[in-house]
Structure 1
């Protein structure tokens, strides 16, 4: 059983020394660390290195939970990966401690999961609202103009086959089928 530390600061001008000192005082045998934003690939590789390195019965120690990632969702995913390997997570500020079977700690971890789900829902809602407001609903632009769509429906109703319409308008037969279904 080893204590493995993880320290991160978001910008190059921030200092890691306080986190590193606290992790050493906590008894960490090895510390993974970096000066990267939570978004950067380098930070993700340091975290991936940590997840790859730890073994069953190890404990990952952080000064604060937010050092593990940018969003609560990504933090909980990492905690889940570690738990699946039989690795515990502990923060020095006492927010999370999966090393104990304390019901309060279990409840706290589950609450973090609920908040992560809420955070995700809020982000999705904001994205959808933004798309509606700008009219950019996503997806590939249609090959057919509204006028062409109406022409296709009229021609189909007049007896022209779906295959012939697909060739004429240079679209797939499935596009024609979907259009005339509406």
Structure 2
């Protein structure tokens, strides 16, 4: 009967060390960590490895349930898979222990709140985008083009070569080629 830990943060600039330290203190023999969004289980290879590797009588530990899943559907699927294998799930910062009825109940309540929080965040983001669009400051996805394509074409039409255009405008030769042939980019 092994105790495994799972740590996750959403972005590459976030730090996993506090979660890993808490999992070691909880007795985890192996800790799988990854930097991936929790809104889906897709592409979370460390979680999948842990799910595949855990056996009957093992325990998987997370610091908080939102490290495991942010949607009630994903959480339910993961918990069902673990229960079918006879693997318990525990959280160090929450009273979750799927080997008890109270722990399973609390897990389901927290899963609902984690999904609610994700949905609120999405609504706030969409409201912010709508407000920015109304103010005329939201141009859509991506940053504006930094290469003056029209100027590149004008200089090229005068007979100037890509290297000279690049030097004149302070851009790379590759940017000049992209501006001259946008379909190839």
Interval of TM-score (by shorter of Structure 1 and Structure 2): 0.5 to 0.7
Q: Who wins on radius of gyration, i.e. which is larger?
A: 1
Match of residue 8 from structure 1? 8
**Alpha-carbon shift at residue 105 of structure 1 (Å):** 2.4
User: 8 Å contact 1:64–1:95 — kept in the other structure?
Assistant: no
**Alpha-carbon shift at residue 48 of structure 1 (Å):** 1.2
What SS class does the counterpart of residue 98 from structure 2 fall into? coil
Provide Cα deviations, 1:33-57, integer angstroms capped at 9, x if missing partner: 10111247432x2211111010000
Relative distance call for 1:110 and 1:21 in structure 2 (3 A) is closer
**Alpha-carbon shift at residue 75 of structure 1 (Å):** 1.4
Post-superposition, which runs of at least 4 consecutive aligned residues in structure 1 deviate over 3 A?
Answer: 39-42, 109-113
What are the within-5 Å matches in structure 2 for residues 1-182 of structure 1?
A: 1-38=1-38, 39=40, 41-43=42-44, 45-99=45-99, 101=100, 103-111=101-109, 115=112
**Alpha-carbon shift at residue 15 of structure 1 (Å):** 0.2
What SS class does the counterpart of residue 42 from structure 1 fall into? coil
Relative distance call for 1:88 and 1:15 in structure 2 (3 A) is same
Return 5+ residue gaps in structure 2 as ranges: 120-185
**Alpha-carbon shift at residue 111 of structure 1 (Å):** 4.3
User: 8 Å contact 1:91–1:97 — kept in the other structure?
Assistant: yes
CA RMSD of aligned residues (A): 2.6
- Give the TM-score, by structure 1 length: 0.56
What SS class does the counterpart of residue 31 from structure 2 fall into? strand
Return 5+ residue gaps in structure 1 as ranges: 123-182
CA distance in 2, matches of 1:107, 1:77: 15
User: 8 Å contact 2:65–2:110 — kept in the other structure?
Assistant: no
**Alpha-carbon shift at residue 13 of structure 1 (Å):** 0.4
What SS class does the counterpart of residue 86 from structure 2 fall into? coil
CA distance in 1, matches of 2:20, 2:86: 24
